[in-house]
Structure 1
Amino acid sequence: MSLLETLFGGTVIVVILHWLLGRLGLANYWRGVISGAVPTIAYAFYAVINGDGLDVIAIHVAIFLATATVLSLLASDKSNTGKRMHWVPKALVVFFGLLAVIDGTFVSISTQGVPPWVASMIMPRAKDHPVYSGFSGVTEHNDQAAKAVNEHLKMLSDEQQLGWEVEMIGLNTLKAGSATSNKLTMRLHDRQKQPMQNAVVTLNFFRPGYVQTLPPLQLQQNKPGEYDGSISIPDTGSWVVKLVIEADGKRIEREHDVSVTAS
């Protein structure tokens, strides 16, 4: 499940539990405790299994407990006065509700990027090509960064001169999960369309900004010009895959932005 599904789904569960416990005649204090604790504990188990980060866990716990607290305060105020609630508390509830929605949306976009259907409406290029808008980390703007750009341009020029044909299969269907094995296949041909054998092919997976990296994956040749391998990716969201190919004394590198979805 995505962050938005767990966050707002859990919030809805808090509200329903609080209402149901009230219908059963449970004391307001225990309504707040139970309605906040049940979704929080349930999500804690899910987070451990799914490998969610501490920032994602923190926002879930904060929203669930805050929702239960606000509902208990409102129910207590209503039972004490016996009158309709003043519009000011209602406005505050709406304000903080919107704030929670906005914060949850920002966290989701920063980790997984803008949903494709939204990107296609607000980003012109997204209609024809995949656009990955997750947080890419901090990029330096100095002499070293400029040198890296020049080296990258030179690498692209060298690759065009070699004329190698590289086809990667499996990068568009990556699934997250420590128990999920993603099969990847690379097909390599030379300028004359002939399969290239005995190449050393390495894949490096990392988060944008190098905030999280996985051990390098070396693909093995199973037939002329075709190399296979499998990898497990722990988290969903935007990843970068760096492909390194060494053959015939030459070397090329490519980077691909990929989106990993839940299994």
Structure 2
Amino acid sequence: MSNYNLVVTLGFGSLLAFFLFFVFYKVIRWGGKMSALATAALMLLIYVPLSVTHWVGIDVFAIHFAFFMMIPYGLGIITGVHEERRLIEGEEIKRGMHWAPGIIIVFFILLATVDSFIISSATGGLDTGLAKILLPKAASDDIGSNISSQFTGAVSNDLQNKEKNFDTYVLQLQKQRERGWRVSGGWDRSPMLNTSTNFNLIVKDRSGNAISDADVTAEFRRTSDMSYDQLFKLVETDKDNNAGKYSVPVSLPLKGCWSMKILVTKGEDIHEIKGQTEVSYINDGKLVTPECAEGEPDVEQKRLR
């Protein structure tokens, strides 16, 4: 189901619910309440197995479930009132459906369409042509060829929403501060767009002794579009002199601000650093270096150039 547009699946399912209800109500001649119950049960039997085997997310499941249940429920109420009036008046009601239920039905159809559009835009982003019409022009040109309207997902260390890992994270942070490792270094030169530049780090302990044979990684993240995120493994250099130096050539595909996460692991000891770096570019023969906005400090916050 994830391969289909949300508007299509929700619209087709809603029409199927309408169709099944009127088959039960008009063809089989069941009462309104029984038709509503049968329609809801059948929709659940169809949708739940499909949603489990083609899971997209709880938000997509919730909107389908809500509308597939509301449609037979609303139709059951409308036809039930119609049947009660017929019993009270003792004859068939020749007048069509009252305008008030019709407005309710139209309202829910519009609500389903709008909600589907919002969820589709959040999960897959707007169509390029539609984005140019609806979205404002970018304040800067360091975001790539097009504005991304896609939700990039929760941040990886959003530990407030991961209660099971929070205590472990706090303990690790406390041990890191007590350990007192020092990580320094940066770029050989100012990083340029699509240009390989060495990224170097020097790792020392509290006493200033070099830390060798460690596993050092640097992850460069693009906040606007996580598809550009890149992970690099640094290789220890000058190993014979036990200098604790690590290096890797890095080429980043977009200009502007990148966030970083550096992990130094040796045995069971883990040292984490977060930071930011700016990728420069040439515009009309001039070097342009967009400035990063200041982020909130977390573990250790550094700006590397």
**Interval of TM-score (by shorter of Structure 1 and Structure 2):** 0.5 to 0.7
Aligned to 1:160: 192
Relative to structure 1, the CA distance from residue 163 to residue 89 in structure 2 (aligned partners, 3 Å threshold; closer, same or farther) is closer
Deviation at 1:49, TM superposition (A): 1.5
Q: How many residues align?
A: 178
Could you report, residue by residue, the CA deviation over 1:38-95 in whole angstroms, capped at 9, with x for unpaired residues?
Answer: 2333221122112222222121111100011111222223334323222222222222
> Is 1:52 equivalent to 2:56 in the alignment?
yes
Aligned to 2:8: 5
Distance 2:128 2:14 in 1: 25
Q: Indicate if the aligned counterparts of 2:14 and 2:68 stay in contact, CA closer than 8 A.
A: yes
Give RMSD over aligned pairs: 4.1
Amino acid at match of 2:19: I
- Counterparts of 1:61-80 in structure 2 under 5 Å? 61-80=65-84
Partner of 2:149: helix, strand, or coil?
coil
Deviation at 1:239, TM superposition (A): 4.9
Unaligned runs of 5+ in 2: 86-92, 139-143, 159-185, 198-216, 238-246, 255-305
Distance 1:205 1:12 in 2: 46
Unaligned runs of 5+ in 1: 141-153, 166-201, 210-237, 257-263
Relative to structure 1, the CA distance from residue 14 to residue 137 in structure 2 (aligned partners, 3 Å threshold; closer, same or farther) is same
Partner of 2:191: helix, strand, or coil?
helix
Could you report, residue by residue, the CA deviation over 1:123-174 in whole angstroms, capped at 9, with x for unpaired residues?
Answer: 4779x9443202346899xxxxxxxxxxxxx879733299339xxxxxxxxx
Amino acid at match of 2:110: L
Partner of 1:158: helix, strand, or coil?
coil
Distance 2:222 2:190 in 1: 27
Q: Indicate if the aligned counterparts of 1:244 and 1:253 stay in contact, CA closer than 8 A.
A: no
TM-score if structure 2 supplies the norm length? 0.47
Distance 1:45 1:161 in 2: 48
Instruction: Please tell me whether Structure 1 or Structure 2 has the larger radius of gyration of its CA atoms.
Output: 2
TM-score if structure 1 supplies the norm length? 0.53
Distance 2:188 2:133 in 1: 32
Distance 1:133 1:7 in 2: 22
> Is 1:115 equivalent to 2:127 in the alignment?
yes
Partner of 2:231: helix, strand, or coil?
strand
> Is 1:17 equivalent to 2:15 in the alignment?
no
Relative to structure 1, the CA distance from residue 130 to residue 40 in structure 2 (aligned partners, 3 Å threshold; closer, same or farther) is farther
> Is 1:244 equivalent to 2:248 in the alignment?
no
Structure with more relative contact order (C-alpha pairs < 8 Å, separation 6 or more) = 1
Q: Indicate if the aligned counterparts of 2:13 and 2:68 stay in contact, CA closer than 8 A.
A: yes
Deviation at 1:16, TM superposition (A): 1.2
Amino acid at match of 2:190: D
